[in-house]
Amino acid sequence: MPAAQIAVQAATALVAVYGAALATHNAILARRKDRRSLIIKMSTAMYTYGAELGPPMVSIDVVNDGHRSLVVDAPQLTVESDPSRVIVLLGADGIAAFPKRLEDGETASLRIAYSQVANALMKAGHPNHVRLRAICKDSAGRIYHSKPWAIDIQEWLRMGQNG
């Protein structure tokens, strides 16, 4: 077989492999574009009152990072070791905005004092150290989870009293 013919076949094979890879990549992107996607984040927040800081709070942000709008229920908290039981955040600041329609890139948030969360965990009989997750459900019934947060219930109670 002449060298020129081998080179043509090799080039044809490379173009075919490149075309297959590109088609696969485009199919994956198209599928991601059509699906719903939420990111749930937990962080610490504090209100400010002039030069004073308020008590520490858990801030839960629900971010629609997909390309489709969706309706979400209010976030809830669950303990990683007992995910079937949830803490409904009825006293949270921002709870009245839920259920909420989130367009792509839009965020909804709520905040609740550390001490309220710690009291709810103690009343439920959880040990001093737990791992919390925020969860949120969309209108299709899909549940989204945050990364877990390791907390010390007694510390959160103390922080709430000193805040």
Predicted pLDDT at 33: 66
Cβ–Cβ under 8 Å, residues 78 and 40: no
70 and 81, same domain (yes or no): yes
Share the mean pLDDT of the chain: 87
Could you give the CA distance from residue 88 to residue 76 in angstroms, rounded to a whole number?
5
- Predicted structure pTM score: 0.77
Q: What is the span of the domain harbouring residue 121?
A: 36-162
- The percentage of residues in the chain with a pLDDT greater than 90, rounded to a whole number, is 48
Q: Read off the amino acid at residue 48.
A: T
H or E stretch at 99: none
Same domain? For 97 and 18 the reply is no
